Amino acid sequence: MCSGKIFFGDNSIVLDKIPGESIDLIYIDPPFNTGKTQSRTRIKTLRDDENGDRTGYASQRYKTVKVSTTKYKDNFDDYMEFLEPRLQNAYRILKPSGSFFFHIDYREVHYCKVLLDKIFGRASFKNEIIWSYDYGARSIKKWSAKHDNILWYAKDSEKYTFNYDAIDRIPYMAPGLVGKEKAARGKTPTDVWWHTIVPTNGKEKTGYATQKPLGIIRRIIAVHSNPGDTVLDFFAGSGTLGLAAAEAKRNFILVDNNPQAIEIMKKRLNKFNPEVIELKKV
């Protein structure tokens, strides 16, 4: 049986209280420093023949109803100054065999890579994983940005958790060229992960602005941790890491200072009965 904790408050305070070398895996998806306020609005449609604003099957009319909107500010005057003490603490609390995954986009990844090399050491850098998706609008002024970057660091570059047999396999592009046995087994992914974003109308969707797909996080959990391990996300958002961890019988610690995120996490993880801890404001 896994255990889980959700902290509502400043992640720097929580990190200071976590004992050194006690966490097996850390994944974070911090704000991307886009300079904008990020938001997502959830809607639903109701049958309304008289006041409907859209037409559906068999010419039936439906009304669009706004359910909720989640927002967070994604703007820092000095992004590296904001991140550095948190990343230093992440290194401190990570076990020697542990891994750290940093999810960011093209705007800041090069700066973050230099900072992480400084903290973890360049030898600890294992991969830059490209999460590639094909969804949404296309730019007419530049090549459309349709990927995120995930930097993987192993605290000990020689001894770290990597469960090769737990890697989910993907189909061959040309199965006829590799034989029936190989085609049936599939192949292991490379450092480019093709995976759709969370579908707008899918069951997985929580409405949180920066929700990441379970498929991406499940792969990281399965390969880079073991049952009974403790995993941490201190920019937890919608709690995807917690759900993937609990499903895989890992213990989890989630931290966020957004009350909307906390409510979504509590609802999403309710069946796992996590302990919710609100930090006192000083």
Q: What structural domains and CATH numbers belong to the chain? A: 4-35+75-278 (3.40.50.150), 40-73 (no CATH)
More confident residue, 274 or 75: 274
Q: How far apart are CA 47 and CA 39, in angstroms?
A: 27
What span, in angstroms and rounded, lies between the C-alpha atoms of 181 and 175? 10
Interval 1-15 mean pLDDT: 94
Residue-wise pLDDT for 36-52, tens only, equals: 453 443 445 556 677 66
| Residues with Cβ within 8 Å of residue 48, at least 6 apart in sequence | 61, 62, 63
Q: What is the CA radius of gyration of the chain?
A: 21
β-pair partners for 147: 132
CB-based contact 173:1 (threshold 8 Å):
no
- Which residues lie across from 55 on neighbouring strands? 61
pLDDT digits (tens, 9 = 90+) for 104-144: 999 899 999 999 999 999 999 999 999 999 888 899 999 99
Give burial (CB, 10 Å; 0-12/13-18/19+) of 236. buried
Helix (H, G, I), strand (E, B) or coil at 103: strand
Backbone dihedral angles phi then psi of residue 170, each to the nearest 5 degrees: -120, 155
Residue partners of 180: CB distance under 8 A and separation at least 6: none
Q: ∠31-259-23 over CA atoms, to 5°?
A: 60
Question: Model confidence over 145-197: pLDDT tens digits?
Answer: 999 999 999 999 999 999 999 999 999 999 999 999 999 999 999 999 999 98
pLDDT digit string (tens) for 230-273?
999 999 999 999 999 999 999 999 999 999 999 999 999 999 99
Helix (H, G, I), strand (E, B) or coil at 48: coil
Query: How big is the chain, counted in residues?
Result: 282
Determine the 3-state secondary structure of 119 from DSSP. Answer: helix
- Cβ neighbours of 257 (radius 10 Å): 18
Asked whether the beta carbons of 279 and 16 are under 8 A apart, the reply is no
| The model's pTM | 0.83
